[in-house]
Structure 1
Amino acid sequence: MPCWNFDHTAMQNDGTEAIALALQDYIHAKRRETGYGGPVDLVCHSMGTCIARYLLEVLDGGAQEEQVRLLVGIGPPNNGSAMAELFNDPDLGPEVIRSLAGVFVPRDYDPNDDTIVQEFRPRSRTVAALQAAGTRDDIAYRIILAANLTETPAFFPAFGGRTWELAPDGEWRTTYAGDGIVPHTDSYLPGAVLDILPRDPGDLARNPEHYCHTGLPRNPEVVARIMEYLANPDAVPGRVSPAP
């Protein structure tokens, strides 16, 4: 099947709406180039999922002119990013950034200079716009997550195999229900089909690093699950996402 790759790494200083519009332009250009006018499938990682959702639900939610059959999100912070908020925490943020320097963020990382991180803090206007718009009935949503089922520190060594999350009472805590960067509570999207990998906990003993946030897009089990959904969006899911 034809595959297009939208890369927005050169847009690091742009915000969510600008990148979403660039994605729209890219899809339109590919349609003109290929002559294809039917629905497309979008496979996105992390905040890329939310950028695609911003295009489809906020910018195009009323007209629904963008034809999309399937949206697969790998480790997406659909409800805002706890890590983005943690980066900005005056007490915990500096140490967390030091732990991730050279692993997930640059060594000289300053969250105040990161537009996307600021826009995806849980109480941001961007996240509020997504929540107000809601998902689209004409799109099948699939979410693929990882969990440290065996509680092995090698899963994500920076945090001892755990993931930071913001508890309902506003306090910080860590959990094994996450991929080291994105906790499951960040990802839940009402009605979306949800897979939590690995299906075989033994895979964590063999390759724990494949299931952390940065390893998920290249994880063979994740790729196989994506291919199943592309071949058949109605493939039997692991479960349905609970309400966030």
Structure 2
Amino acid sequence: MWNRLGPVLDDAAVPFWRFDYTAIQDDGTEPIALALQDFIREKRTETGYDGPIDIVCHSIGTCIARYLFEVLDGDAREEEVRLLVGIGPPNNGSALAGLFNDPDRGPEVIRSLTGVFVPEGYDPAEDTIVQEFRPGSRTVAALRAAGTRDDIDYRILLAANLTGTPAFFPAFGGRTWELAPGGGWRATCAGDGIVPHTDSCLPGAGVRILPADPANLARHPEQYCHIMLPRNPEVVARVREYLTASAGPAVRTPPRR
């Protein structure tokens, strides 16, 4: 997922650590958040770095990081974070997670995404993260109650199908399912195929919607869908910009190993 970003950060002399929670993804939000905390502390001990860190996350990973910094560490603020970049994050809960659990619409949606976003035989009832990030869940409520931290700079990178191109995300004809204001579901071009913009809104966060040039959707529409965003050249360039431009002279960077 991050194999396009890593070399760019190396070229920009930005040291980085990569946290992978694949092996514990079924454990749930809080255990993964605590594992992230342990990982950061281990890396600090290993490198001797004790200054502020920047966090770059994709999708639910953003919410897991936020759960650590806002819910678990919100009052203590022991974890020093300067910048949090979320790529396609479902900050308000995932409309798709809710749709997966809809007894009428869910099976059809899952069939459309089988082999694309979910595996054969996928059962949302067995997916801990999906259950925890349904809109209105306790996890989402805890994030909302905690609120963002005023000592963290939040940036959100989103994609939109600005030209209504079906190839943007063929499974849904180029659109993204979202919760309609009056209830139920509706399809929108304001999303990345998986996460609509309404899921991502976060008070006080800086938001950039890509592509900057809609013509990019005619050339490579598939690069702007949710699954491909971490490897999208425009996303990678923006992340590099955030990590390098925001660095001030008083900010120490982790030593390179």
TM-score range, shorter chain: over 0.9
Residue of 34, 52, 64 corresponding to 2:77: 64
Q: 1:80, 1:123 within 8 Å by CA — same for their partners in 2?
A: yes
Shift of 1:136: 0.1
Which of 181, 192, 197 is 1:179 aligned to?
192
8 Å Cα contact 1:140-1:233 kept in structure 2: no
Q: CA RMSD in A?
A: 0.8
Deviations 1:126-178 (A, max 9, x none): 00000000000000000000000010000000000000000121121000000
Unaligned runs of 5+ in 2: 1-13, 248-257
SS in structure 1 of the partner of residue 234 of structure 2: helix
- Cα displacement (A) at 1:12: 2.5
In structure 1, how many angstroms separate the alpha carbons of the residues matched to 2:210 and 2:139? 29
Question: Are the aligned partners of 2:25 and 2:32 in contact in 1 as well (CA < 8 Å)?
Answer: no
Question: Paired residue for 1:191, among 184, 191, 204?
Answer: 204
Say if 2:166 is the partner of 1:162: no
What are structure 1's unaligned runs of at least 5 residues? 235-244
Q: Which runs of 4+ in 1 moved over 2 A?
A: none
Select 1:89's aligned residue among 102, 126, 132.
102
User: Aligned partners of 1:143 and 1:43: how far apart in 2?
Assistant: 10
Asked whether the equivalents of residues 223 and 229 of structure 2 are also in contact (C-alpha less than 8 Å), the reply is yes
Please tell me whether residue 15 in structure 1 is matched to residue 17 in structure 2. Answer: no
1:214 is paired with a residue whose SS is helix
| Paired letter, 1:128 | A
**Structural mapping, 1:7-46, within 5 Å:** 7-46=20-59
> Among 98, 108, 113, which residue is 2:121 paired with?
108
Structure 1 residue aligned with 2:135: 122
1:51 to 64, 71, 77: 64
Q: How far apart are residue 80 of structure 1 and its match? A: 0.2
Q: Could you tell me the TM-score, scaled by structure 1's length? A: 0.95
Structure-2 residue corresponding to 1:203: 216
Asked if the contact 1:85/1:121 (under 8 Å) is kept, the reply is yes
Distance 1:140 1:219 in 2: 23
Q: Write out per-residue CA displacement over residues 3-25 of structure 1, whole angstroms, 9 at most, x where no aligned residue.
A: 10000011132010000000000
Percent identical across equivalent pairs?
77
Give the 5 Å matches for 1:229-240: 229-233=242-246
| 2:93 paired residue number | 80
Spell out, residue by residue over 1:184-226, the C-alpha distance to the aligned partner (whole angstroms, 9 max, x if none): 0000001100000000001000000000000100000000001
| Cα separation, 2, equivalents of 1:184 and 1:69 | 24
**2:146 is the counterpart of 1:133:** yes
Q: Are 2:21 and 1:2 equivalent residues in the alignment?
A: no
User: What is the TM-score of this pair, normalised by structure 2?
Assistant: 0.90
Aligned to 2:240: 227
Give 1:233 shift.
Answer: 3.1
